[in-house]
Structure 1
Amino acid sequence: MKKIINDPKDVLAEMTSGLVGAYPEKLEQIPDTFVIKRKVNAQQVALVSGGGSGHEPAHAGFVGDGMLSAAVCGQVFTSPTPDQIFAAIQATNEGKGVLLIVKNYSGDVMNFEMAQDMADLEDISVGFVLVDDDIAVEDSTYTQGRRGVAGTVLVHKILGAWAKNGASVEQLETAGKELVEKIKTIGVALSGATVPEVGKPGFELAEDEIEFGVGIHGEPGYRREKSKSSKEMAKEIVEKLKAEFQWEKGDSYGVLVNGMGATPLMEQYIFFNDVKAILEEEGVAISFSKVGNYMTSIDMAGLSLTMIQTDQAILDALNMPVDTIAW
């Protein structure tokens, strides 16, 4: 294992310290926690998300004006603890309540729900939005039901805009649940990720193998096969998404091509170009697009495709300016 680290046990502490040290005008770390929050709270419903580290820039990279109020960083691929999540709730609440945006993994769900109960005891109004955008498999390692993956970033962006515009906790929770239904994702891996404390990839793929539907922690996908061209991968994934959305000619969708950590932007743009061509043949308009590393899996090679059904309110929210380090 070759990585630019010191002691593997110190990865989270040193990463969070480096993050706030690099952007001191935007971010701060709550003392004695791994919570990264906005430097200045806003007079609005606070949005708190988080999860295991190793998915950078998610989630701390999306903390800032117009998106998250705080991100709670767990150990690599491990849910943050309830007390850390509760600390984020307390530190960001300005009397208007807090909305938790949680990816659908058993540990995350349990710990964020426990933190919500702790906030309840202090009469802090806390809403909960569960993101389960990965349509690759129904049940997988760490989860019951579908996993939450890169579509979570779009939820941060859209609900962040609506929170800034004055929506209440109740309005955001209702809108968030409706929004999640409009977002679907599938990924493809070319290689596994190496957790620093483990020192070897979580799964192995032969030089000529890829795996469709793999999760962001290296959870199994739905099929492993010989490597394909970008066009063939795009066709496979778009067909799966079409079966879920049941779109018709003239429909509009947003498209997010998300790198998993070790795939160059060159390849991501090639893949987007192939997706765009397929959607044009289908008569589907791309109303919003974004390409880059947003929800990674440490050093996994591969990418995911997220599509979102759009309307004017969603597009306005996606295009609203924000002040974060990663959007």
Structure 2
Amino acid sequence: MKKLINDPAKTVDEGVAGFAAAHPDLVRVVVDPPFAVVRADAPVAGKVGIVSGGGSGHEPLHAGYVGVGMLDAAVPGAMFTSPTPDPILEATKQVDGGAGVLHIVKNYTGDVLNFETAADLALAEGIEVQSVVVDDDVAVKDSLYTAGRRGVAGTLLVEKIAGAAAERGDSLDRVAEVARRVNSQVRSMGLALAPCTVPHAGEPSFELGEDEVEIGIGIHGEPGRERIALEPADRLVDRLIEPILEDLPFQQGDRVVLLVNGMGGTPLSELYIVFRRAAEVLAERGIELARSLVGSYVTSLEMQGVSISVLKVDDELLDLYDAPVHTAALRWGR
């Protein structure tokens, strides 16, 4: 294992410290204790606060999306491990501007349970909290980490659009409704060409032959639908996007945002090859490509692979997607 780390046990702490040092205009870190990354100007009076989080290793998710127009706080757990309720509660308190707080939670058992506990504790302290669970992955119904579908790269789109709704002054009920609508209309699926290595484990999280591809992989290396021999990129893209389009289902005339997301170790040139074919399939189906996003936004350490997310949008969701955002990892309109 070769990684730019010091002590595997300190990887998350040192990485977050470096992130905060690089972006003091955007975030501050609550460190003693518990541990949370908070928007620099939080709490914003009268604005719904938005908190997300989960195991580290998926950067820039979630800390990279703390800032104007997106998250008010992110709570990083240990590598691939949910944060405990205490830091989630602290983040909730740090961003409460009097209008309530929305928790955006990926559908993994530890995340769901710990965010639920933190929400109950916040309520006991007089903070109104609502939660939206993201479950956009169409690959499998249940996994090693979940009951029901996993929350994967579609989380980015939920956070962006809900963040814009909060920034424009929507009520907690309304921001939660928007977040749930995005989750209901986004579908994702991914694949892995090679595994990742968790620092404290020191060995790959799963085994994959040199000529093998795991279709439907999770962002922690969970098994997917099937393991197949390596195929040309276009055929692999078809294996991902066809189940996505069939699941909602997406129909001729729909407008969509297409997200092609790298898993951490995939060159941008290859992501654009994937995007090219995915856009072709949408055009063949009569689906309008309204917006596009290509890059490594929800990763799995250095895993080689890709995921595709397709979000059906209406005028309101598209306006919220386009709304200004200023975070370390996503910014436009300012």
TM-score by length of 2: 0.96
SS in 1 for 2:326: coil
CA contact (8 A) 1:257 1:304 kept: yes
Quote the Cα distance in structure 1 between the aligned partners of 2:117 and 2:195: 32
Cα contact 1:216–1:296 (8 A) shared by 2: yes
Contact 1:262 1:300 (8 Å CA) reproduced: yes
Counterparts of residues 220-259 of structure 1 (less than 5 Å): 220-259=223-262
Partner of 1:293: 296
Matched, 1:137 2:137: no
Q: How far is the alpha carbon of 1:179 from its aligned partner?
A: 2.0
2:35 partner letter: F
Give the letter aligned to residue 27 of structure 2: L
Match of 1:148 in 2: 151
Structure 1 unpaired stretches of 5+: none
Indicate conservation of the 8 Å contact 1:132/1:146, yes or no.
yes
Q: Please name the residue that 2:9 is paired with.
A: 9
Superposition map of 1:10-49 within 5 A: 10-32=10-32, 33-41=34-42, 42-43=44-45, 44-49=47-52
For residues 178-193 of structure 1, the aligned pairs below 5 Å read: 178-193=181-196
Are the counterparts in 1 of residues 159 and 179 from structure 2 also a CA contact under 8 Å? no
The whole-number CA distance in structure 2 between the counterparts of 1:38 and 1:277 is 39
In structure 1, distance between residues paired with 2:249 and 2:326 = 35
Q: Is the 8 A contact 1:16 1:34 kept in 2?
A: no
* Alignment RMSD: 0.8
3-state secondary structure, aligned to 1:262: coil
Q: Distance in 1 between matches of 2:231 and 2:288?
A: 26
Distance 1:139 1:237 in 2: 18
2:61 to 58, 62, 66: 58
Aligned pairs, how many? Answer: 327
Alpha carbons 1:151, 1:184 under 8 Å: kept: yes
Aligned counterpart, 2:101: 98
Give the one of 306, 309, 312 matched to 2:312: 309
Query: 2: distance between equivalents of 1:304 and 1:146?
Result: 15
| Identity across matched positions, percent | 47
Alpha-carbon shift at residue 146 of structure 1 (Å): 0.2
**Match of 1:70?**
73
1:206 maps to which residue?
209
Distance in structure 1 (CA, Å) of the matches to 2:290 and 2:322 = 11
Residue 38 of structure 2: SS of its match in structure 1? strand
Report the Cα distance in structure 2 between the residues aligned to 1:63 and 1:124, rounded to whole angstroms.
21
Deviations 1:128-156 (A, max 9, x none): 00000001000001100000000000000
Contact conserved, 1:100 with 1:127, CA < 8 A, in 2?
Answer: yes
1:123 pairs with one of 123, 126, 147: 126
Task: Report the CA distance between 1:203 and its aligned residue.
Answer: 0.6
Structure 1 equivalent of residue 287 of structure 2: 284
How far, CA to CA, are the matches of 1:326 and 1:282 in structure 2?
Answer: 32
8 Å contact kept, 1:105–1:144:
yes
Structure 2 contact 282–288 (Cα < 8 Å) conserved: yes
Length-normalised TM-score, structure 1: 0.98
- Secondary structure of the 1:116 match is helix
The runs of at least 4 aligned residues of structure 1 exceeding 3 Å deviation read: none
Q: CA deviation at 1:11?
A: 0.3
> Structure 2: any 5+ residue segments left out of the alignment?
none
SS in 2 for 1:180: helix
CA-CA distance at 1:88 after TM superposition: 0.1
Tell me the secondary structure at the aligned position of residue 261 of structure 1: coil
For residues 287 and 165 of structure 1, the distance between their equivalents in structure 2, rounded to whole angstroms, comes to 22
Partner of 2:218: 215
Match of residue 165, structure 2, among 159, 162, 166: 162
SS in 2 for 1:181: helix
CA displacement 1:99-149 (0-9 Å, x = unmatched): 000000000000000000000101100010000000100000110000000
Match of 2:276 in 1: 273
Question: How far apart, in 1, do the equivalents of 2:251 and 2:64 lie?
Answer: 35
Q: Secondary structure at the match of 1:283?
A: coil
User: Aligned equivalents of 1:49 and 1:77: distance in 2?
Assistant: 15
State the distance in 2 between where 1:66 and 1:96 align: 16
